């Protein structure tokens, strides 16, 4: 045991005591009133709902290395893959990456840490730390075992990801996130020539980026084809460099495929639309780096309490 190890253990145990003393109200995650949750024990509620912390080295997944995936104890949403788990020696399970869109980051009540929650139901998971140098990703999700369940590889819930651009990403996300089987959505920029673009830079038309959305869905509930069909029905795929009143190269219609199967399905749907007299201009492009947009763009209409002005549902299939 090193001095550093004992020091970290002491720090985390003090944080544990602090976390257990918090009495904040349960989180109000997205669609919290209509979601169905698993029953929780009093100990699970203390951590998951009231942001407590389990004792270090006491959780069942702290020293656990089976292949599979970790899901939210409260709602069952996939959170982490076992391939991203590592031993930080801190007393809690540690991961250097999450399943895309599975985790949200919030300022902690203590004023200096970053809290992580399940993006689907708002369950408290633990805290996020960066710059520690444990792995090449330089990121550590410090998660309470009690906040998760584990599913072995043979039963791992599959997730798949689709990336679309169809005008203002606010409106596309508004409709996509309502689809059954969609786990999470995230809006951002892709297809351009610069790294870490800002909204202002993308809107200038000089970076070549598209306003896009990354949709993570459960293939057991829906399919890539169904998700792509919805994409073609919530924006006008016949408009080029604009969508409704929004004009600009960032509003181009495009599907960014992640493998040949996605490409083939997209091209099939475009042929079907063209055969029914839709002069589709949607581009079919290989997926490149997806840059997350600024936080105020995420779930924009839900936070604003309004509905899209340039998107709407039109049945085309």
Q: Write down the residue that tokens 């040949």 correspond to.
A: 260
Q: In whole angstroms, what is the distance from residue 92 CA to residue 69 CA?
A: 16
**Long-range residue pairs from 266-272, CB within 8 A, at least 24 positions apart, any chain:** 266/228, 269/225, 269/228, 269/229, 269/232, 269/317, 270/237, 272/317
Q: Which of 20, 168, 203, 310 is catalytic?
A: 168
Q: In whole angstroms, what is the distance from residue 58 CA to residue 72 CA?
A: 19
Which strands sit side by side in the sheet containing 139-143, from one edge to the other?
Answer: 85-86, 94-95, 139-143, 124-130, 114-118, 103-107
Residue 52 has φ and ψ, to the nearest 5°, of -75, -175
Q: Which of 72, 142, 203, 310 is catalytic?
A: 142
In this structure, are strands 283-286 and 253-257 parallel, antiparallel, or unpaired? parallel
User: Residue 310 catalytic?
Assistant: no
Q: In whole angstroms, what is the distance from residue 78 CA to residue 68 CA?
A: 11
User: Residue 142 catalytic?
Assistant: yes
Q: Please name the residues in contact with 86: beta carbons below 8 A apart, sequence gap of 6 or more.
A: 94, 95, 96, 134, 135
Count CA within 13 A, CB hemisphere, residue 67. Answer: 3
Nearest-Å Rg of the Cα atoms of the chain is: 21
**Catalytic residue ranges:** 142, 168
């Amino acid at each position: 045991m090193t001095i550093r190890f004992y020091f970290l253990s002491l720090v985390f145990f003090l944080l544990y005591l602090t976390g257990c003393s918090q009495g904040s109200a349960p989180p109000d995650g997205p669609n919290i009133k209509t979601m169905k949750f698993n029953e929780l024990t009093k100990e699970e509620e203390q951590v998951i709902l009231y942001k407590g912390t389990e004792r270090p080295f006491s959780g069942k997944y702290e020293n656990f290395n089976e292949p599979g995936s970790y899901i939210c104890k409260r709602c069952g949403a996939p959170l982490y893959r076992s391939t991203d788990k590592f031993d930080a020696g801190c007393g809690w399970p540690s991961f250097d990456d999450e399943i895309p869109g599975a985790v949200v980051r919030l300022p902690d009540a203590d004023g200096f840490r970053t809290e992580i929650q399940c993006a689907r139901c708002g369950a408290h998971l633990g805290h996020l730390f960066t710059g520690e140098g444990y792995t090449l990703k330089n990121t550590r999700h410090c998660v309470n075992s009690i906040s998760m369940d584990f599913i072995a590889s043979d039963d791992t819930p599959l997730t798949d990801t689709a990336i679309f651009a169809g005008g203002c990403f606010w409106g596309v996300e508004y409709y996509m996130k309502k689809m059954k089987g969609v786990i999470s959505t995230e809006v951002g920029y892709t297809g351009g020539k610069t790294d870490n673009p800002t909204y202002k830079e993308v809107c200038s038309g000089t970076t070549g980026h598209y306003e896009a959305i990354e949709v993570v869905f459960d293939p057991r509930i829906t399919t890539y084809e169904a998700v792509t069909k919805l994409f073609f029905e919530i924006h006008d795929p016949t408009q080029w460099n604009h969508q409704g009143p929004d004009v600009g190269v960032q509003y181009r219609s495009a599907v960014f495929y992640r493998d040949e199967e996605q490409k083939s399905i997209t091209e099939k749907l475009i042929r079907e639309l063209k055969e029914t007299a839709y002069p589709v201009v949607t581009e079919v492009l290989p997926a490149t780096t997806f840059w997350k947009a600024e936080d105020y763009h995420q779930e924009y209409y839900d936070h604003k309490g309004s509905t899209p002005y340039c998107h709407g549902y039109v049945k085309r299939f």
